A = this chain, B = another copy of it.
Amino acid sequence: MDSKDEGSAPCSSPVCVHNPHLDALKEDILYHFSLGTETHSLQDMFGDVKFVCVGGSPWRMKAFTEYIAAELGMEDPKSEYPNICAGTDRYAMYKVGPVLSVSHGMGIPSIAIMLHELIKLLYHAKCTDVTIIRIGTSGGVGLEPGTVVVTKQSVDPTFQPRFEQVILGKTVVRNTDLDQSLAEDLLQCSKELNQFKTVVGNTMCTLDFYEGQARLDGAFCSYTEEDKQDYLNKAQEAGVCNIEMESSVFAAMCKLSGLRAAVVCVTLLDRLKGDQLRSSHEVLHSYQQRPQILVGYYIKKQLNAKAKDS
């Protein structure tokens, strides 16, 4: 696989870039990671990565690293997991064995910068057979708070499964399909775990948390409670189970680069019943652990199966 494929050839197991200019670069500086091909031996550092977990909050991604280390029996006796991107405060990155954990901030632009540099990192490191999962939080639509949603399709605010990328001032529409077999595997894991409810459904991805998600509690709101309910009811009819702010570009970019991808978000509230997060800190915290528990179980199961095969 070389980097000159422009999207027509199917990517097999390597991580693909689609950029003929990259090979001409003497050095590739992954600026927002504070890493680079001349300053770091990316293949030595990351060549064994098989699972990448990403989420908005740096604290949560550090907590996930500690959790997965314990699950896999790979704890550092001193419990120290250094931030690989310590040279910057844009993103945080941690690694335990084959599992890389990276924060992406909030919103499509923030996760897109991270994914461009992550995909190049995995490419430079010659990683193969990589599965990537976004573990996040979301607003639910007609679901009991605490329900975990594995995304079937990421849809836009008009409920269409697409992501619009502006390139040189022109809009290009990209596919937001996610890996259906991975989604089913994750659902099966939830059944085996039997700790909380998990569903597979559509996820609406918006550019704004307040007006963009029909909330009544932003600084600006020009619509009524009834307008809000109408919109969310239409979303529900279109199969939308939850709403967040990163899944569409995540699905589009992972598909382009041949990464097996899933989005696993817990719902912190039911948007049909309210807008503000009124649950206690402890309840919200326990909800936020559910995607971590589910994905941790999945990774452990995969690694055990692989160990048996070999």
From the candidates B20, B110, B222, B276, name the one contacting A110 in the complex (CB within 8 A): B110
Residues of B within 8 A of A167 (CB): 211-212, 214, 222-223
| A207 interface contact, C-beta 8 A | yes
Copies of this protein in the assembly total: 2
Q: How far is the CA of A113 from the CA of B22 in the complex (A)?
A: 34
Bound complex: CA A157 to CA B208 (Å): 19
Q: Which of B29, B253, B276 is A219 in contact with, Cβ under 8 Å?
A: B253
What 1/0 mask marks residues of chain A from 231 to 265 whose CB sits below 8 Å from any chain B CB?
A: 10000000000000100000001001100000000
The residues of B that contact A189 with a CB separation of less than 8 Å are none
- A interface vs B, CB < 8 Å? 6-7, 17-22, 25, 27-29, 31, 56-59, 89-90, 105-110, 112-113, 115-117, 119-120, 123, 157-159, 165-169, 206-212, 214, 216-223, 225, 227-228, 231, 245, 253, 256-257, 276-278
Complex A-B: 15 CB contacts under 8 Å? A18-B220, A18-B221, A21-B217, A105-B105, A105-B106, A105-B107, A110-B110, A116-B218, A116-B220, A120-B218, A158-B169, A159-B169, A166-B207, A167-B212, A220-B256
